[in-house]
Amino acid sequence: MGSSTRSGAVARARRYVTDGDFEAELARRVSYRTESQQLPASLPHLERYLAEEIGPAFAALGFTWKTYKNPVAGQGPVLLATRIEDAALPTMLGYGHGDVIRGQDALWTKGAGPWVTKRDGDRLYGRGTADNKGQHTINMAALRCVQAERGGKLGFNAKYIIEMAEETGSSGLHDVIRAHKADFAADIFIASDGPRATAERATIVLGNRGGALFDLVCDLRAGGHHSGNWGGLLADPGLILAHALASITGPTGELRIAAWRPPVIADNIRASLADVAIDGGADGPAIDVWWGEPGLSGPEKVYAWNSFAILAMKSGIPEAPVNAIAPVARARCQLRYVVGTEEANILPALRAHLDAHGFQRVKIEQPDEVGRFGATRTDPDHPWAKWVKASFETTIGQSNALKPAILPGTGGGVPNDAFQDILGLPTVWIPHSYAGCSQHAPDEHVLMSVCQSAAELMAGLYWDLGAGKTP
């Protein structure tokens, strides 16, 4: 047998995708109906995915594995697989999630429905292909390719989390990690979730924006009253709430609450985003360039600034309106915020703003913890961030057209604070999908071209982890 090489490991990963093994393995995993939003009926499927599919797959790689019961009643368990080759070697902690959103079976127009993978050109359809079964399947295969090329060794220690409650806000994950910190301890966190900046460009994400979820409620009386008999005499909670919401941003979306505006974007963050483009693909929406903070580029608005959104609102009975002044109006709202925003002051600042503008009748209510996550970031100049970038450049070549995109944080929500704040790890996310993948909608899919690129990059990265020149 010839000597093992980095290029050999990368080639194995390429063949894993091009020869059909990836599709076969992913098809088996997609067939598990792991809808974490369909609890409690789906809980047995969440448990089976780990016990029948993921645990044995890690065991075949020489990992020991165990599951932790979720401390949040009814939520899916957390698996940790561990392989320690030498205590002196660096330890990587990986992550993925095996739960998916609702299948939305009746709404699919492409593929063969949510629970069967179906290829159509470059697209592979199925629920979880992008979020996140396809992504952790690629990473697990890349580990296998490095082992095969290195004669059964990785050359580093590896731990890997697969949780089953990410789509319900990673309920219980933080508590599990906090209670078993020694089990999850590592030197570097490297994981995959979410989309690349563009499909064609390898992307390194160093954190995520936080998400503060809250309701604004104007509740004035019990029951509705005839709008002809009482209009002009009774205050309309829908109008009051609409004015309150409109006071939070300007007419083009810029924030008007001073405490919600983050610090000035650092020079190295601006530099990392200077050549980034946001492209949702052919099915993505057109960007409203006039919306958001003036003077910022699109990537700066998404990855380095705060944004306010009204997720849902209701006054009266929208599906069956009647001639009545509604008694109550409610809006579910969210502030996406970056590192540097004072998290503890988000709601107090909102309360002060509403009071100063005469909206004392509008209450702030907090829903359950699901939907909240803290803002985190590993600095682009951190040694591990630079090391990952160098590994990518070795795999793809140092052509400017293929230079990796460096994002300070993902626009979406991932439980990065569990790893950065609780475990104290530098964190690097390497997404294997693209923005037009329909990950939370019918017709979810991955691009096979992206999957091939991702498998090659991860095999090269894992090879470099075991080559003895890490930070």
For position 1, what pLDDT does the model report? 44
Distance between CA 145 and CA 142 in Å, rounded? 5
Closest CA to 127 of 110, 113, 107: 113
Distance between CA 78 and CA 80 in Å, rounded? 7
Distance between CA 165 and CA 101 in Å, rounded? 10
Domains detected in the chain:
6-208+375-465 (3.40.630.10), 210-262+306-365 (3.30.70.360)
Tokens representing 184 are: 């999850």
Task: Give the chain's radius of gyration (CA, Å).
Answer: 24
DSSP E strands, 174-284: 188-191, 203-205, 207-208, 210-219, 225-226
For position 370, what pLDDT does the model report? 55
List residues bridging with 335 in a β-sheet.
212, 308
Distance between CA 277 and CA 287 in Å, rounded? 11
Residue pair 378/206 in contact (Cβ under 8 Å)? The answer is yes
List residues bridging with 312 in a β-sheet.
332
Distance between CA 171 and CA 163 in Å, rounded? 10
Distance between CA 341 and CA 345 in Å, rounded? 8
pTM to 2 decimal places: 0.89
Report the 10 Å Cβ neighbour count for 180.
14
Return contacts of 3-6, CB within 8 angstroms, 24+ apart: 4/149, 4/150, 4/151, 5/149, 6/394, 6/460, 6/463, 6/464, 6/467
Would you call 399 exposed, middle or buried from its count of C-beta atoms within 10 A (0-12, 13-18, 19+)? exposed
For position 98, what pLDDT does the model report? 98
pLDDT values of the chain reduced to their tens digit, one per residue, 471 residues = 457 899 999 999 999 999 999 999 999 999 999 999 888 999 999 999 999 999 999 999 999 999 999 999 999 999 999 999 999 999 999 999 999 999 999 999 999 999 999 999 999 999 999 999 999 999 999 999 999 999 999 999 999 999 999 998 899 999 999 999 999 999 999 999 999 988 999 999 999 999 999 999 999 999 999 999 999 999 999 999 999 999 999 999 999 999 999 999 999 999 999 989 887 667 778 889 999 999 999 999 999 999 999 999 999 999 999 999 999 999 999 999 999 999 999 999 999 999 999 999 999 999 875 556 789 999 999 999 999 999 999 999 855 557 899 999 887 678 999 999 999 999 999 999 998 899 899 999 999 999 999 999 999 999 999 998 899
Would you call 233 exposed, middle or buried from its count of C-beta atoms within 10 A (0-12, 13-18, 19+)? exposed
